[in-house]
Amino acid sequence: MKVFKKIVDLQNELFLVRKEGKEIGLVPTMGALHEGHASLIKRSVKENGATVVSVFLNPTQFNDKGDLGRYPRTLEADCKLCEACGAQYVFAPSVEEMYPTPDTRHFEFPPQSTVMEGAKRPGHFNGVCQVVSRLFYIVKPNRAYFGEKDWQQIAVVKRLVNYIGYDRLVHIVECPIVRDEDGLAKSSRNTLLTPEERAIAPNIYKALKASVDYAKDHTVAETHDKVVADINAIDGLDVEYFEIVDGNTLLDVNNWNDSGYVVGCITVYCGHTPIRLIDHVKYKDPETK
């Protein structure tokens, strides 16, 4: 496996890969890789002739600089995981390499980019679009792999590829959430949790999962309130928001019959630091019919 820090070196290598007729998969990450990332990398390796894993902690998508400072940085371990999963290349540029001049481009794709995370973290999705569009331009992948834990991000990225005209060039591959045995969604932020915080964090998914059955006999509003109440009843957990939305538009649904694709999206503060954790659950999914 080769590690590249310079754009031109990676592009020269990928030129030779394409010359051999191989397709390229891209797994964009911010590092601190875990089993969830590993599942994306392994799928890319299976489906492409070459896989590039980008490891870049993108500053433009952090509206909270304290959050950026706390984010774990584990490049050496990340490279070992990538190699073990069969990736051929890691792209680990500096901020100066990715942004030799400030990126002043502005991306907005309402409603997908303006609700939930978009409303709570102003500028976050603009930063996501800046770095993802840069990576697509640099790597020119045939497929790009994103985990469903960052479910809203996938919806925004799909809008992005249409906007920049890459929809016929790169296929966005959605990969299922990987969870620990107790249900907690794998996340780089989990490493920041204290043992006590880690012990209570699974209650987030426990409440979401239980609400799927509850929803069968209760309204959207009742289901929403029960999830929030159940999680907030746990000392150390505090719901920032829980939205039950249409899976395509991301707009709120008021009745279960409003849409054939209904998803509950949640963000919870865990602990006293606190650590911000996200998750979601599908109430109605056309793919499973």
Active-site positions?
A: 37
Structural contact between residues 151 and 175, judged by C-beta atoms closer than 8 angstroms: no
- DSSP letters of 171-234? EEEEEPPPB-TTSPBP-GGGGGS-HHHHHHTTHHHHHHHHHHHHHTTS-HHHHHHHHHHHHHTS
DSSP letter at 255 equals S
Q: Which two tokens stand for residue 113?
A: 């980019």
Measured in whole angstroms, how far is the alpha carbon of residue 227 from the centre of its chain? 22
Measured in whole angstroms, how far is the alpha carbon of residue 264 from the centre of its chain? 16
Question: What are the backbone angles phi and psi of residue 288, rounded to the nearest 5°?
Answer: -105, 5
Structural contact between residues 211 and 223, judged by C-beta atoms closer than 8 angstroms: yes
Give the neighbor-by-neighbor strand order of the sheet with 2-4. Answer: 2-4, 89-91, 50-55, 24-29, 143-147, 171-175
Q: Which two tokens stand for residue 209?
A: 């999962």
Which stretches of 111-180 are DSSP H helices?
Answer: 117-120, 124-139, 151-163
Q: Which two tokens stand for residue 72?
A: 């774990």
